[in-house]
Amino acid sequence: MSRIAYVNGAYVPHRQGAVSIEDRGYQFSDGVYEVICLFKGKLIDAGPHLDRLDRSLAELSIPNPYSRAALMTIIHETIRRNRLSDGLVYLQMTRGTAPRDHQFPEDTRPALVVTARYFDFDQAAIKAAEGMKAITYPDIRWARRDIKSVSLLPNILAKQAAVEKGAYEAIMTMPNGLVTEGCSTNFWIVDQTGLRTHPVCPDILNGITRSRIIEIAKKEGVPLNESPFTVEEARQAREAFTSSSVRAVQPILTLDDHPIGSGLVGPITTKIFQSYQRFLKTGVVS
């Protein structure tokens, strides 16, 4: 079955989907995006994802011409036309098309693309439960990582470095030795203070999965510590994992080939992993 994409007002065969060569997303990375997971026919946290989309757009002064209801209709229609019940919905909005000039163009309508593709969450969860390797990599991104911008060059360089070392994720580090997050995930450790992750600020993306994990930790009575930590502290941690909409909770067993804790998936990580899987199935943190 051929895939269908929504491109600026029309549903088109995926391979024929095209935007202008003067789309500002293409020329300047002048746009934002969201990835929403569709699990057993249900969108996971669509509301918070679209809230974050609105926030990213507002921070860049890109007016959103679509109402929430219109966006939801487009997302559901894209899913329906692709006959998916498990998959990833990708939504990208740019400032639109205009003759190339750095300043914001006037009277340009933002461009919207929505695509959806199959993703096997069950298989991913089985694989994830085994644990993965991560590396550290310098965080060379701009100072507004809280905006989910399509400008991902530092992130893809970091991911490529991880892949070349046989690792799943690159954990990004600042010159002062502090860890920010993974190149496409938030990063968590378990140490003597409890479950620890970087606080929400412009240095990291405020992950939707991150918020759910905080809710889970509170429910499970796991002490939470939202404070920055160093690479050394991560190496000395008892447990570590990453979180994202695509890969849920991913246990990390080694950092730069250095085992974390016992080198096995730890008890707190297992608790969070299982609880997040339950949330995916039931839609509530229980």
In the complex, least distance from residue 250 CB atom to ligand PDD, rounded to whole angstroms: 11
Q: Which of 40, 42, 133, 148 is catalytic?
A: 148
C-alpha to C-alpha distance for 183 and 156, rounded to whole angstroms: 7
Amino acid (one-letter) located at 39: F
In the complex, least distance from residue 212 CB atom to ligand PDD, rounded to whole angstroms: 8
Q: Which of these segments, 22-30, 229-237, 239-247, 254-262, binds ligand PDD (CB under 6 A)?
A: 239-247
Q: Which of 56, 209, 269, 275 binds ligand PDD (CB under 6 A)?
A: 209
Query: What is the CB neighbour count within 10 angstroms for residue 224?
Result: 15
Q: Which of these segments, 64-72, 221-229, 240-248, 251-259, binds ligand PDD (CB under 6 A)?
A: 240-248
Query: What is the CB neighbour count within 10 angstroms for residue 89?
Result: 26
Q: Which of 78, 94, 136, 243 binds ligand PDD (CB under 6 A)?
A: 243
Interface with ligand PDD, residue 78, by CB under 6 A: no
Q: Which of 207, 228, 251, 266 binds ligand PDD (CB under 6 A)?
A: 207
The question of whether 271 is a catalytic residue gets the answer: no
In the complex, least distance from residue 209 CB atom to ligand PDD, rounded to whole angstroms: 3
- 263: alpha, beta or left? (left if phi > 0; alpha if psi -120 to 50): left
Q: Which of 57, 112, 210, 228 binds ligand PDD (CB under 6 A)?
A: 210
C-alpha to C-alpha distance for 197 and 252, rounded to whole angstroms: 14
Scan residues 9-68 and list those touching ligand PDD (CB under 6 A).
35
244: helix, coil or strand?
strand
Give the number of C-alpha atoms closer than 13 A to the C-alpha of residue 103, restricted to the C-beta side.
Answer: 3
C-alpha to C-alpha distance for 159 and 161, rounded to whole angstroms: 5
Q: Shortest CA distance to 17 belongs to which of 113, 111, 90, 87?
A: 113
Interface with ligand PDD, residue 184, by CB under 6 A: yes
Query: Of 98 and 128, which CB lies nearer to ligand PDD in the complex structure?
Result: 128
Interface with ligand PDD, residue 3, by CB under 6 A: no
Q: Are strands 169-173 and 132-138 parallel, antiparallel or unpaired?
A: parallel
| Helices 208-220 + 267-282 axis angle, to 10 | 110
Q: Any alpha helices (H) in 29-91, and if so which ranges?
A: 46-59, 68-81
In the complex, least distance from residue 225 CB atom to ligand PDD, rounded to whole angstroms: 18
Scan residues 122-181 and list those touching ligand PDD (CB under 6 A).
181
Point out the residues that are catalytic.
148
List of residues contacting ligand PDD (CB under 6 A): 35, 181, 184-186, 205, 207-210, 243-246
